[in-house]
Structure 1
Amino acid sequence: MGSCIICGTSVDGHICDLHEEDVLFEFRGDHPNQLTTNRYYRGSVDGFAEFGVFVDIGDRVTGLLHRSELDQRLDSLDWEPGDTVFVKVKNVRDNGNIDLGWSIRQAEREFRGTLIDDPEFDTARLAEDVAEDESGNGREEPAADADSEPSPDEQAVEATTDTDSSPDDQTAEATSDSEPLGDDQTVEAATTDADAAKVSQADDSERVERSASVVGQGSTATAESDDTSADAESDDAVDHQRDHPVVTVDSLDDHEGDDVRLEGEIVDVRQTSGPTVFELRDETGTVDCAAFVEAGVRAYPDIVEEDIVRLDGDVRRRRGEIQVETETLVALDGDERQTVADRMADALDDRARPAAVDALAEDPTIEALADDLVDAATAIRRAVITDRPVIVRHSATADGYVAGVALERATLPLVADEHRRADAQYHYFDRRPLEGGVYDMQDATKDVTNMLENRERHDEKLPLFVFVAAGGTRESLDGFDLLDVYGAPRVVIDDAVADEAIADSVDTLVSPSLAGASPTTATALAANVAAHVNEHVQDDLVHLPAVSFWDETPASYLDAAAEAGYDEASVTELRDAVALEAYYQSYEDKRELIKDLLFGDDEDDVTGLAGNVAEQFREKLATEVDTATANIEHEEIGGTTVAVLDTDAFTHRYDFPPSTILLDELFRQADSETDALVGVADDTLFVRADETVDVHDLADAIDEAAPEAAVRTRSAREQSIRFLSGERDAVIDATLAVVGERF
Structure 2
Amino acid sequence: MTSSTAGEAGTDPTDRVVYDLAPGCTLDDAEEGALYLATVNGVVEYGVFVDLSKHVSGLVHESNLDGEYAVGDELIVELVEIRENGDIGFEDVDLDPDSTDRTAVIPDDDVDIGGLSGRIGETVSVEGDVVQIKQTAGPTILSIRDGTGIVPAAAFEAAGVRAYPEVDLDDVVRVTGTVEAHEGAPQLEVDQLTRFDGAAEREVRASVDAELRARAEPAETEPLIEWPAFETLREDLEDIARRLRTAVLDSRPIRVRHHADGDGMCAALPVQLAVENFIAEVHADPDAPRHLFKRSPSKAPFYEMEDVTRDLNFALEDEERHGQRLPLLFMVDNGSTEEDVPAYRALDQYDVPILVADHHHPDPDAVAPFLEAHANPYLHGEDYRITTGMMCVELARMIDPSITDDLEHVPAVAGLADRSKADAMDEYLDLAAEAGYEKDDLDDIVEALDYAAHWLRYQSGPNLINDALNLDCDDEARHRELVDFLSSRARRDVEEQLADAEPHVEHEQLDNGTHLYRLDVENHARRFTYPAPGKTTGELHDRKVTETGDPVITIGYGPDFAVLRSDGVRLDIPNMVSELQTEIEGAGVSGGGHLVVGSIKFVPGMRESVLEALVEKMEAAELDEELRSTLLRDD
TM range (shorter): 0.7 to 0.9
Match of 1:689 in 2: 566
Q: 1:578 matched to which residue of 2?
A: 449
C-alpha distance 255-426 of structure 1, shift in aligned 2 (>3 A)? same
Query: Counterpart of 1:534?
Result: 400
Cα drift, residue 509 of structure 1: 0.6
Give the Å deviation of 1:256: 0.6
8 Å CA contact 1:244–1:312 kept in 2: the answer is no
Whether contact under 8 Å (1:285, 1:418) holds in the other structure is yes
- The alpha-carbon distance between structure 1 residues 188 and 351, as it changes in their structure 2 partners (threshold 3 A), is closer
Amino acid at match of 1:570: D
CA distance in 2, matches of 1:434, 1:562: 31
- Judged with a 3 Å threshold, the aligned counterparts in structure 2 of structure 1 residues 321 and 540 are, in CA distance, closer, same or farther, namely same
1:601 Cα offset (Å)? 3.7
User: Does residue 531 of structure 2 align to residue 657 of structure 1?
Assistant: yes
1:109-124 matches, cutoff 5 A: none
- Residue 223 of structure 2 corresponds to 359
User: Counterparts of 1:578 and 1:163 in 2: how far apart (Å)?
Assistant: 72
Q: CA deviation at 1:684?
A: 0.4
Shift in CA distance, 488/637, structure 1 to aligned 2, threshold 3 Å: same
| CA distance 1:534–1:363, change in 2 (3 Å) | same
How far apart, CA to CA, are the structure 2 residues paired with 1:448 and 1:241? Answer: 45
1:668-709, Cα deviation, whole Å (9 max, x unpaired): 221234542222101001222223532232124444554342
CA 1:201/1:417 → structure 2, altered by over 3 Å: closer, same or farther? farther
Residue number in structure 2 paired with 1:491: 355
Partner of 1:402: 266
For 1:548-589, what per-residue CA distance to the aligned partner results, in whole angstroms no more than 9, with x for missing partners?
Answer: 123446111011111111121111111111111111112112
* Cα offset, 1:529, TM superposition: 0.4
2:438 alignment partner, one of 550, 563, 567: 567
Whichever residue aligns with residue 524 of structure 2, its letter is F
Matches of 1:282 and 1:264, distance apart in 2: 5
Name the residue aligned to 2:626: none
CA contact (8 A) 2:512 2:621 kept: no
Equivalent positions of 1:221-260 (< 5 A) are: 221-222=75-76, 243-260=107-124
Separation in 1, partners of 2:476, 2:124: 46
What is the TM-score of this pair, normalised by structure 1?
0.68
Alignment of structure 1 residues 663-702 onto 2, 5 Å: 663-670=537-544, 671-673=548-550, 675-690=552-567, 691-702=569-580
| TM-score between both structures, scaled by the size of structure 2 | 0.79
One-letter amino acid of the counterpart of residue 677, structure 1: T
- Report the counterpart of residue 596 of structure 1 in structure 2: 467
1:345 corresponds to 2:189: no
Distance (whole Å) between structure 1 residues aligned to residue 69 and residue 505 of structure 2 = 85
| 1:514 has 2:379 as partner | yes
Q: Secondary structure at the match of 1:619?
A: helix
- Provide the rounded CA distance (Å) in 2 between the counterparts of 1:278 and 1:247: 17
Question: Which deviates more, 469-478 or 270-279?
Answer: 270-279
Does structure 1 residue 617 correspond to structure 2 residue 471?
no
Aligned CA distance change for structure 1 residues 357 and 638 (closer, same or farther; 3 Å):
same
| Aligned counterpart, 1:73 | none
- AA aligned to 1:663 is T
| 1:556 match | 427
Q: Give, as a single letter, the amino acid of the residue that structure 1 aligns with 2:75.
A: A
The Cα of 1:488 is off from its aligned counterpart by 0.5
Return the alpha-carbon distance in structure 2 between the equivalents of residues 256 and 396 of structure 1.
45
Aligned pair 1:314/2:178, yes or no?
A: yes
Letter of the aligned partner of 1:720 in structure 2?
Answer: S
Matched AA of 1:520 = I
Instruction: Tell me if structure 2 keeps the 8 A contact 1:642–1:675.
Output: yes
- Report the counterpart of residue 707 of structure 1 in structure 2: 585
* 1:38-86 Cα deviation digits (max 9, x unpaired): xxxxxxxxxxxxxxxxxxxxxxxxxxxxxxxxxxxxxxxxxxxxxxxxx
1:34-73 aligned at under 5 Å gives the runs: none
* Counterpart for residue 29 of structure 1: none
2:610 aligned to 723, 726, 731, which one? 731
Structure 1 pair 603–330 and aligned structure 2 pair: CA distance change class (3 A):
same
- Partner residue, 1:627: 500
1:403 Cα offset (Å): 1.0
**C-alpha displacement at 1:363, in angstroms?**
2.2
How many residue pairs get aligned? The number is 554
User: How many Å separate the matches in 1 of 2:593 and 2:426?
Assistant: 30
The answer as to 2:599 corresponding to 1:720 is yes
Deviation at 1:536, TM superposition (A): 0.7
Aligned position for 1:644: 518
Q: Does the 8 Å contact 2:562/2:599 carry over to 1?
A: yes
Deviation at 1:370, TM superposition (A): 1.1
Q: Secondary structure at the match of 2:203?
A: helix
Q: Which amino acid aligns with 2:74?
A: T
CA distance in 2, matches of 1:708, 1:240: 73
RMSD: 3.6
Q: Residue 178 and residue 339 in structure 1: after superposition, are their counterparts in 2 closer, same or farther (change >3 A)?
A: same
Partner Cα distance (2:342, 2:307) in 1: 10
Aligned partner of 1:235 in structure 2 is: none
Query: Retained in 2: the 8 A contact 1:394–1:434?
Result: yes
Mind listing any 5+ residue stretches in structure 1 that lack a counterpart? Answer: 1-158, 203-217, 233-237
Q: 1:297: Cα distance to partner?
A: 4.3
Provide the C-alpha distance between the structure 1 equivalents of 2:392 and 2:361, rounded to a whole number of angstroms: 16
Q: Which whole-Å deviations, capped at 9, do the CAs of 1:353-407 have from their partners, x for residues lacking one?
A: 1120011222223211111111111111111121111111100111111111111
Q: CA deviation at 1:498?
A: 1.3
Q: What are the within-5 Å matches in structure 2 for residues 362-441 of structure 1?
A: 362-441=226-305
3-state SS of paired residue (1:399): helix
Cα drift, residue 188 of structure 1: 6.2
Partners of 1:219 and 1:160 in 2: CA distance? 23
Query: 8 Å contact 2:562–2:601 — kept in the other structure?
Result: yes
Q: What amino acid is the match of 2:435?
A: A
Q: Give a deviation string over 1:4-59, Cα, whole Å, max 9, x none.
A: xxxxxxxxxxxxxxxxxxxxxxxxxxxxxxxxxxxxxxxxxxxxxxxxxxxxxxxx
1:608 is matched with which residue?
A: 481
CA offset digits 1:410-463 (Å, max 9, x no partner): 111112222233322221111100122210222211111111111111111111
Letter in 1 for 2:501: A
> Any idea what SS the aligned residue of 1:366 has?
helix
Q: State the distance in 2 between where 1:396 and 1:715 align.
A: 14
Q: Deviations over 1:175-222 (max 9, x none)?
A: 9998758xxx9876679xxxx9xx9988xxxxxxxxxxxxxxx75334
| Bigger RCO of structures 1 and 2 (CA < 8 A, at least 6 apart) | 2
| Residues 335-366 of structure 1, C-alpha deviations (whole Å, 9 max, x = no match) | 33222212211111111111200112222232
3-state SS in 1 of match to 2:348: helix
User: What is the identity, as a one-letter code, of the residue corresponding to 1:270?
Assistant: K
Question: More deviation in 714-723 or 569-578?
Answer: 714-723
| Structure 2 unaligned spans of 5+ | 1-29, 58-64, 82-88, 94-101, 623-635
Per-residue deviation, 1:231: 12
Do the aligned residues in 1 keep the contact of 2:258 with 2:268 (CA within 8 Å)? yes
2:279 is paired with a residue of what secondary structure? helix
Q: How does 1:127-526 map to 2 (within 5 A)?
A: 219-222=73-76, 243-501=107-365, 502-518=367-383, 519-526=385-392
Q: Deviations over 1:606-643 (max 9, x none)?
A: 63321221111111112222333322112344345421
**CA 1:162–1:231 in 2, change beyond 3 Å: closer, same or farther?**
farther
**CA distance, structure 2, for counterparts of residue 201 and residue 186 of structure 1:** 13
Q: Is the 8 A contact 1:495 1:521 kept in 2?
A: yes
